[in-house]
Structures are given as structure tokens and as C-alpha cells.
Structure 1
Amino acid sequence: MPQSPSAASRDEPVIRDRGDACPGALRLHAADDGFLARVRIPGGMLGGAAARLLADAADRLGDGHLDLTSRGNVQLRGLGESCGGELAALLAGAGLLPAPTHERVRNIVSSPLAGLDRLGLPDVSPWVAELDALLCASDAAAGLSGRFLFALDDGRGDVSSLDADVNLAPCGGGRARLWAGDPRDAVLVSSQDAPRAALTAAEYFLEAVRQAGTRAWRVAELPPEHALSGARLTQRLADAGVRAAVAAPAPGPSARSAGAPEPGIVPGPDGTAALSVLAPLGRLTTAQWRRLAGLTDRVRLTPWRGIVVPGLPGHAAAAALAGLAETGLVTAPDSPWRSVTACTGKPGCAKALADVRADARAVMERARGPLAVHWSGCERRCGHPRGSAWVDLVATPAGYDLHVEGRAPRRGVPEQELAPALADARHADHVRHHRPDSVQK
């Protein structure tokens, strides 16, 4: 099974022969189905006007679809080679390019249900806007890679499970817990200073990269002798005028630990409700997208390729959810698409050996199960889930190889046996207790 960078040994140096080529809104990526643009949406928070402009761009310049990423961002595919200037103008007009020099580093995820449900957890959404503004104003932050990730968790333990580089979470008493990489090496800061402290942690990482002489893009890639420490972070925060203290060891897993919001209606405070839906394989038509944006003029994109629509009157939620189901979006937890992901595959990716999305659609109704499943068009396994609780299908010239932890891989599964083999793997007893929610890019 593949390892995420955070699981890789720090004894193995990170060696790269090129710079970070992560696509952005201005740096387009050439794919087999045209050019691709990735638009950062900090915290996944998007107003209706900006959302509609993205749909217009997909229709006018792309293939009429919008793809959601595992960081709550949006991708436009099928773009023409000469559309960059027009796309940039559209995005700037929508307020989605506040700092062109920093557009690829605005990778911020936050708890999608923050302030929307009845758990009474702190609303961290104001941190998103403040951290984004600080990032865009920092000359040093422009040096972060397009893969560096900030996670702002409201205390339920959802986005803090995504192995972000810099994490923030409220911890009571007007304080926030901040860690960069290892949660056991956290510091405490005031909630008011939290976004500034997060930026300071990112700048500390960049200094560690320079001192190490590496091309590390993520905190977990730093060599051990240059690993970030809570004590040194505390001193850097003090130098920046932010009071901080090394935190006591964190307690065990929170009872509130959560993954992706379940599809359905989320009752909120004061008679309001939010809707949580998923896009099958993370791909929406512009018609679906506009339907979502038009409900309350606000959407939140989740790191699990879902969409939360906040601010509906409670009495109108059921009818609105039924309308979204009619468009083909996932609105119920028992959908076979609840925990199925896939890379782009053919025809969009030149390295792919199969049309993984079409193959997934062909068998998923007959291959249900509690474990997540990820379809990969090649050995790179782009977009695979985190952890061990997932089934890995990898296209090869001889068919699909099927992997699940604790079992010997099954090589070259024939098409007629794919559905039963996958269903069996998704019911693997020894990993059934894991939740298949977390995914990575």
C-alpha cells in the first residue's frame, strides 16, 4: 500500500529535480483533455456571485463541469491553451485572485459545519478570512509550495485528521492549539492571535527548509535534525509579538472526532438548517453547481468533495434536498457513492491505463461495502485515501490489481469478476471498524 508523505521515514531525504509544478488558476496544467486550472477557495467558502462566475467560466472556456479537490478547491478542465488571460480576468472579477503572486499557496481547509450545527463548537470561519489576508500580504509566504496546507478545526476533529502542515483548533478559555506537523508538539496561543500564529508557523517552516538545504514542500518532509519544535515555535511567536506557551500533551482521541459530514439535512441554530451533499466522484455539471449556488447564495466546499449549503429556513430544507437529489447529487448516507473516489483516468490523463470513472460507475451498485474504495488509473494512485481503511484498485495493462491491507494483492482481476471481488474486499473484517472518510490529494 502506498504511504502518504507524513508516513514516510524522515531518514529518507527529499530529493527533487524540479520545482513545485502544482497547478493553479494562472499556471495551467496541460492534460490530455485540454488545460486544467485549479482555483483555491480558502475554507471552501464561496459566495453565490463568485460561484456563478466559475460556472460561466466552465461553460465558456472549459468542458462544462467543475471538479472538487480533496482540499475544497475547484478545478476547471478542458480549457483552451489561449484562455489564460480571459480566465484570469473572470476570476479577478469574482474576487478569487486577491493576490496573483500567492494564488497557489491559499490552501486552507476548515470544518465545513463550523457554526452551522447544534454542537455549540466555536465558529472558526472568521479565522479563514483573516489567515487568507495575512498569507496574501506576506512576501515570505509566496515561497510556500502549492501543496502546503493549513487546517482550521472547530474542535470536532474533522480537518485536523487530514495531516495538514499547520493546524489550529480552539481549546477553550479563549485559546487555540497550534501545531505544525506533530500534534504532540503543539503550542497554545490566544484565539485572537491564532491566524497570525499560523502564518508565523508557516514562515518558520520556510526558514527550516532554507537551513536544511532541501526542497521540502511539506512539514513532514523535513529531515529530523530540522524538524519543527514547539519550543522554537514559541520563541518565534514571541519574536513576532504573539504570546505562546508549549502545550501539555493532548488527550486521547476526542469523542467528537469526525470525518466528512454525512449527506442530508443538518439542523442548525435558530430554526435554520444546512444541506450536506456529495458530488459523485467529485464532478458536477454547471447545472448542478448553479442549483446549489442559487439556494442561499452561499456554499461551502468540503475536503471530501462535498458541498454544504448553509442558511436555509428549517421548514424548506427537505424540499430543497429532494430537488438536489433529482439532479444526481448524493443526498443520503446509504448511497453507493458515499465513500468512492477516483483519479481523473482516461481520457483526461495521459498516464492512465483505464477510464476509471466509467469503470467505477459500471460496478458500484453491485460492489457496496463499508470500506472506502479508490480507483487509480496508474501506479501513481493520485487522490488516494489516507490510512489503511480503504480498498485500492489500480489499473494495469492486464486489468485491475486489487489491494486491501492485510490481504495478498489480487492481480489482474478480470472485468466479469471485478464487482464481486470489490464487494468482498470492502467487507474485510479486520478493518471494518475504521471510518473511510479521509482523503488526500
Structure 2
Amino acid sequence: MTRASDRCPGVFSTHRAADGRVARIRLPGGRLRPDQLDVLARLADDHGDGHLELTSRGNVQLRALPDEAVDDVAVAITAAELVPSADHDRTRNLVVSPLTGRIGGLADVRPVADALDASMSAHPVMPLLSGRFWFGLDDGRGDVLALRPDLVAIAVDDRFADLAIGGRPVGRRLQWAEVPEALMSVAAAFVDVADGAWRIADLEAGARVQVVEAATGFGSGRDVAGSPPTPDRTPLVGWFDQDSPRHNSDEGNGDGGSVLLGAVVPLGRIPARLARFVAAVDHPVVITPHREILLCDLTPGVADTVIRVLAPMGLIFDADSPWVTTTACIGAPGCAKAFADVRTDAVDAVHDDPLPADRHRHWVGCDRACGSPRESHDLIRATADGYVHDSIDR
């Protein structure tokens, strides 16, 4: 198949929207240092619309950038170590179990994420991938596999991982040390047969078989019988006690008794001032693919202070809030393709009916349905004749 190049924005290749340029900053594993969050908040205030926009892949976007600011923004983001190079900007797509190494899971996959990110940031195959191609590391709870990245290593324990391609286990068991090289090799095999395809799911059956065969040089074969892990999709919103510390030396205090706070903001848009206050807490931040904001490795006293100070500013720590299950694309006037100002309509709907939804509701301005969740949800889609409600089951 032959397909046009995808238009996924990056830092060096921004997208021109109706409200200005859009820069997408990819966060491997959703991880942000406090100083990096502060830089992004200041850029949003100085050059953008005053918000950080969270995406359904755990990334961050700056919107409404004027043309003349794009180069300065890219320089600042590069200086903050948020992008390795222009060549690897749009393809550094890596999702990691958000709680790994802190709460549950069969392995702490953060060291593997670091090694894989280093490989992704240097490997010559990466610039040849589309901006939609997605790598994943699942710590055994099934949360990443459920998102169906193109290539996923799923923890069996702290020594071994099973490989999934296109969302399906393929019968290869790898040592964790093999994972970065194995995923890069399979990605290279995808590039060889892609013929314009953006993702594994876009391949013809024969080409997909060739990609799977590229994995046979790694690990050992195994029986694929059995079901993959089923994830718990309880929102990561509220107060969570972390496990006994397994932190890296630069993450957390390592003295036990740590707390993780999870929060959301309306429509996944963090006001820059609030983002600067989150950065001032000076602890690791993780952005999840469900647009949750995790503040990690806190002492109970600090966690209590964070809630008392940041909740009145708009950070929502209530898992029953309707904002946990309400999202929207940018809509009009920011997107020229949109038939409606879906964000305003979504806010009005939540205010009219503030009870928590029993199912995720995603508002979109056109048939493209940007930012849609990967789980079952209700799609509220604007058309030229008004809104249409679709039930999406996955």
C-alpha cells in the first residue's frame, strides 16, 4: 500500500492549526522532570495560549504558537533535554506502565525504558518511521498492551518479557537486556515492508508475517496459549501509597512511606500557572495516556500540602469527578475542520450534569475524532446538522 505522510506534529515540525502552530513534545514513558515542566509552562505563557495540552499518548502540546516563535520554542525545548534531535523528534513514541517501580507490576521497567529511549534517540531507523508508530513497555499488569502499541515488551518477571507485535503476543520470550535491540530490529523490518503504512495494523497480512519473523533472532520461542493480562482501568486519581521503594537514585527519597498523587484537569488542559505550581513541588511527574497527572515519591506531609494548595487552583484529586471521564478534541475555533466549539459544549454539559459518567465521553468536532480513547466510550461527534452520539465498543 502507498499512503501519504502522516501529519503528526513535533517540536521541529509543528502543525499549522486555525489558532496558530501546534508543537507536540513527546515524553518517553510520560516522565517529566520538574524543571522541564516549568520550562513548558513558561513557553505556554510566553508564546502559546497559556495552557499545556495533554494527549492520549501521554505527551504534551503547546498551542497557538505564532510563526515567529517556533524556532525559539524549539531551542528552549531542546535545552531542557525534551527532544534529542530534529531527526528523532516525531518518532520518539514510547508508552510505559505509569505506576511501574512504584506500585504493583511484575518488574520495574524504568531502566529498560531509559535504555530503549537511548536506542530510539540514536538508531537510524527511527527517522524512517511515521509519527504514529508506537513502542511500549508493560510491567505485567496489561495496561500498556491494552493501548495496542505497535511493539510491546510485557513483563513476565524481573528477568523476562514476552513480545507483542500489533497488539498480539507472538511467542517470543526475551531477557530484558535484549528488549531494546529486539524492538529496534523489528521496527527496521517494519520499515522494509511498510510501503507507506504508518503502523503494524496497516500492513497487509504477508508483510505482517515478515515483521513477526524478524523477532525470531531474539530470545526463545514459547507457547502463546493463554490470555494476556487484563488491565485494571480504575482511574489513577487520588491518594496512593507506594510500595517499598524501588526508585532509581535520582527519583524519590528512598526511605519508604512514599505517596503518589494522581489528578486530572478539565479536558486535559493545564493552565500554565497551575503547571508551574506542580513543578514547584519538585518531585517526578508522570503524564499517563489517560491524561492523568501523577506526582510521585512524596512524603505524606508534602502530599497533604499539595492537595490543600493545588486542589483550589484546579487540580482534581477526586476519582468520581466527571472530568475523569470527559475529554474533547480541540474543536472550533482552534481547528478549521471542526463543526462546533466542542470544548465549550463539553464544559456546559458537565455543568448541567455533574454526576460521574459510567462510561467515558469524548467530544469531537468532526469525523476524524482526534484524541479518542482506546477503550470503549461514547463518542459525541459534531456534524453540520448537530451532534451525533456513537457508542464505540473495544
TM-score in terms of structure 1 length: 0.82
The correspondence for 2:241, drawn from 234, 257, 267, is 267
CA contact (8 A) 2:105 2:141 kept: no
The aligned counterpart of 2:229 is: 254
The aligned counterpart of 1:197 is: 182
Amino acid at match of 1:399: G
Alpha-carbon spacing, 1:307–1:357, altered in 2? closer, same or farther (3 Å)? same
Amino acid at match of 1:164: P
2:350 aligned with 1:350: no
Displacement, 1:233? Answer: 2.6
The aligned counterpart of 2:73 is: 87
Alpha-carbon spacing, 1:120–1:108, altered in 2? closer, same or farther (3 Å)? closer
2:303 aligned with 1:317: yes
The correspondence for 2:151, drawn from 166, 189, 193, is 166
CA contact (8 A) 1:175 1:189 kept: yes
The aligned counterpart of 2:253 is: none
The correspondence for 1:402, drawn from 379, 384, 389, is 389
Worse-superposed segment, 38-47 or 176-185:
176-185
1:192-249: per-residue Cα shift (whole Å, max 9, x none)?
221222222211211222xxxx2101001000111146861333xx3xxxx4122321
Amino acid at match of 1:370: D
Structure in which a larger fraction of residues adopt helix: 1
Matches within 5 A, 1:98-137: 98-117=84-103, 119=104, 121-137=106-122
The correspondence for 1:383, drawn from 364, 368, 371, is 371
Amino acid at match of 1:400: Y
Amino acid at match of 1:258: D
Residue-pair matches, total:
380
Displacement, 1:380? Answer: 1.7
1:361-380: per-residue Cα shift (whole Å, max 9, x none)?
11114444201111111122
1:48-88: per-residue Cα shift (whole Å, max 9, x none)?
11111111111111111110111111100010112222111
1:3-51: per-residue Cα shift (whole Å, max 9, x none)?
xxxxxxxxxxx543x3222111011111111111011111111111111
**Cα distance in structure 2, aligned partners of 1:325 and 1:223:** 49
CA contact (8 A) 2:186 2:215 kept: no
**Cα distance in structure 2, aligned partners of 1:386 and 1:92:** 30
The aligned counterpart of 1:36 is: 22
The aligned counterpart of 1:291 is: 277
Displacement, 1:253? Answer: 4.7
Amino acid at match of 2:99: L
2:124 aligned with 1:139: yes
**Cα distance in structure 2, aligned partners of 1:142 and 1:185:** 26
1:131-177: per-residue Cα shift (whole Å, max 9, x none)?
11101211122101100001111111111111100001111261111
**Cα distance in structure 2, aligned partners of 1:34 and 1:226:** 39
**Cα distance in structure 1, aligned partners of 2:148 and 2:129:** 17
2:198 aligned with 1:217: yes
1:274-294: per-residue Cα shift (whole Å, max 9, x none)?
111112211011111112222
The correspondence for 2:12, drawn from 10, 16, 26, is 26
Displacement, 1:318? Answer: 2.9
Amino acid at match of 2:274: Q
2:220 aligned with 1:245: yes
Unaligned runs of 5+ in 1: 1-13, 406-430, 435-441
The aligned counterpart of 1:438 is: none
Amino acid at match of 1:380: R
Displacement, 1:321? Answer: 2.3
CA contact (8 A) 1:231 1:246 kept: no
**Cα distance in structure 1, aligned partners of 2:143 and 2:330:** 25
Q: Secondary structure at the match of 1:227?
A: helix
Amino acid at match of 1:194: V
2:44 aligned with 1:58: yes
The aligned counterpart of 1:374 is: 362
Amino acid at match of 1:205: F
CA contact (8 A) 2:379 2:389 kept: yes
Displacement, 1:260? Answer: 6.1
Q: Secondary structure at the match of 1:329?
A: coil
Worse-superposed segment, 259-268 or 23-32:
259-268
Unaligned runs of 5+ in 2: 245-255
Alpha-carbon spacing, 1:206–1:230, altered in 2? closer, same or farther (3 Å)? closer
Q: Secondary structure at the match of 1:113?
A: coil
Alpha-carbon spacing, 1:287–1:250, altered in 2? closer, same or farther (3 Å)? farther
Displacement, 1:403? Answer: 1.9
The aligned counterpart of 2:138 is: 153
CA contact (8 A) 1:149 1:166 kept: yes
2:158 aligned with 1:176: no
**Cα distance in structure 2, aligned partners of 1:165 and 1:230:** 11
TM-score in terms of structure 2 length: 0.91
Displacement, 1:328? Answer: 1.2
CA contact (8 A) 1:105 1:148 kept: yes
CA contact (8 A) 2:241 2:259 kept: yes
